[in-house]
Structure 1
């Protein structure tokens, strides 16, 4: 047969084969990965590292990260157990940036055994060797390498050996003044907007909001400089902060978070990079760190 006549037939054959080939290479959706994941790939928040922050609208669950900031986390445990946080308030909500809470400046409160100043824990020296880490396959604009350490977004530098937690939506950091040793964990904030990664290694980062983020993002924005509230009545009171370890097991929040070192997380990550849900007509083939945080779910039953 003449070549010119063969080409249309070849094109038709390839077109007919394309759907079958696409079906063979179809990636599962993120939901399909999570639905098929074994229970062993999930874990409950560690009670000794988990804060329950009670606001008028509901509970916020924060898991702390002693692997990244051990001194600050220990200080925060003391503040919680001594009820220092009870009666503090949300003092600042800056749109597309942070919600911040602590003791208003005009009503200082002395501490008992906790310290009011700590040396900064901006990075973990030797963290490359000591911390678990699942690297992301895509490049990052702020660090040589990024990935997930347990359930937290992290970065590291193999040349210096340092690792650090990064600023993503829902990550909790320690407020400080200009002096680097002016933070203690008494004043905290969480990211409520686009990830301010320029703050990485500038502020001590201590944890991640796992549940109840809506209670911190839906608050009225402050009208003062940097989103601070200008009048006391604008602030949202914090009724109490309690460690989950000090709450009866039956009364603890029934949530699971996917381990960043599990096989299911690796599959979920790739499903997010190559999304083929019906809505995603063009897979990105790429994911940034702050879109790769291990998911959280209610415990079945």
Structure 2
């Protein structure tokens, strides 16, 4: 009995010393990279944006793809589609690039120093649109909640590929001003933002704008073309010379392009297991550089992956 007791005690002592070492070894296991997680994703976890909601903006430097969010701003989405079908944006310009803030495209003739006699007609589009700064929470829409809370809203998460904030008390939800999100410029009147002036967030997320402007979607591809432009020297980043403005060659709906010219892209579903794994990897990143995981993540720190459809990925559908 004495020998058995000493043997058990010795085994227990080994376990006591070994368990912390095993736990530390497990804790130090590197977090999977985004590439590794995406490589294990299934075809069903990816979606192809509706071509009726996909804007293709051609700049002299390349292509920018913008996905509209009609479930959150349906009136603005409809008005923007009308403008695009009329080729309203073709030949207009990027008139404002404010450092750490936004890049805005608009009709230069409508600026304070513009030639008002040359303002482009809105055609069949509406001059005013009811403000869509928030919308009632729709429990039928997919919702992936972030676990770490938020400074600006009681709840944040992702829905249909977009970063969203919620207030259960008021029953409202809204798209957030994260990097790459696209909003509608307006004057002081809430209804003056009709979609003819749009901006993309190119700096630190200006969440103070949430619920004060309509956010109509996000840039899926081409953000470097918008964020690397020369900054305007005038107040709010406006260019002081017309020659500095970047001409927009065209903006078209993907649905109205020939099939061969339609963007062949997929976006990771934000209600998928792989996206949840990406969130967890962001929160608990540990590798050769990150020795102390943050253990938290904010809504604007998470990118929703997009990929080109290749022969390999297309064969999986």
Bin of the TM-score, shorter chain as denominator length: over 0.9
Q: How far does residue 271 in structure 1 lie from its aligned partner after superposition?
A: 1.5
Cα distance change, pair 86–278 in 1 and its aligned pair in 2 (3 A): same
* Stretches of 4+ aligned residues off by more than 4 angstroms: 8-12
Q: State the 1:161 CA deviation.
A: 1.2
The partner residue of 2:65 within 37, 42, 61 is 61
> Who is 2:315 aligned against?
none
Q: How does 1:80-91 map to 2 (within 5 A)?
A: 80-91=84-95
Q: 1:16 to 1:178 in 2, by over 3 A?
A: closer
- 1:128 and 1:158 in contact (8 A); partners too: no
Cα distance in 1, alignment partners of residues 21 and 142 from structure 2:
47
Q: Which moved more, 1:213-222 or 1:254-263?
A: 254-263
CA RMSD of aligned residues (A): 2.2
Match of 2:54 among 32, 42, 50: 50
Q: What residue is the counterpart of 1:35 in the other structure?
A: 39
1:111 counterpart SS class: coil
Q: 1:161-219: per-residue Cα shift (whole Å, max 9, x none)?
A: 11100000000000000111111000000000000000000000000000011111111
**2:3 paired residue number:** none
Alignment of 1:192-203 (within 5 A): 192-203=202-213
Q: 1:287 aligns with which of 288, 297, 302?
A: 297
Aligned residue among 60, 85, 108 for 2:119: 108
**Aligned-partner SS, 1:186:** coil
Unaligned runs of 5+ in 2: 1-5, 312-317
Equivalent residues, number: 296
**Residue from 121, 124, 149 that aligns with 2:135:** 124
Structure 1-normalised TM-score? 0.92
Could you report, residue by residue, the CA deviation over 1:6-64 in whole angstroms, capped at 9, with x for unpaired residues?
9x9787545653455447x7653332211100011011221000000110000100000
Q: Which residue of 2 aligns with 1:171?
A: 181
Please, which of 89, 98, 102 is the counterpart of residue 98 of structure 1?
Answer: 102
Shift of 1:283: 1.4
Judge conservation of contact 1:173–1:206 (CA < 8 Å) in 2: yes
Structure 2-normalised TM-score? Answer: 0.88
Q: Deviations over 1:119-158 (max 9, x none)?
A: 1100012x24343211000110000000001100001111
Q: Which residue of 1 aligns with 2:22?
A: 17
| 277-286 or 195-204, larger mean C-alpha shift | 277-286
Contact 1:128–1:157 (CA under 8 A) maintained in structure 2: no
Q: Which residue of 2 aligns with 1:205?
A: 215
The corresponding residue for 2:264 is: 254
In 2, the alpha carbon distance for the partners of 1:10 and 1:258 equals: 43
- The 2-side partners of 1:218 and 1:20 are apart by 42
Bigger Rg, structure 1 or 2? 2
Does the aligned pair in 2 maintain the 1:99–1:190 contact within 8 Å? Answer: yes
Match of 1:215 among 210, 221, 225: 225
Q: Which runs of 5+ in 1 are unaligned?
A: none
Distance 1:17 1:300 in 2: 42
Offset of 1:281 from its aligned partner? 1.8
Distance in 2 of aligned mates of 1:147 and 1:293: 12
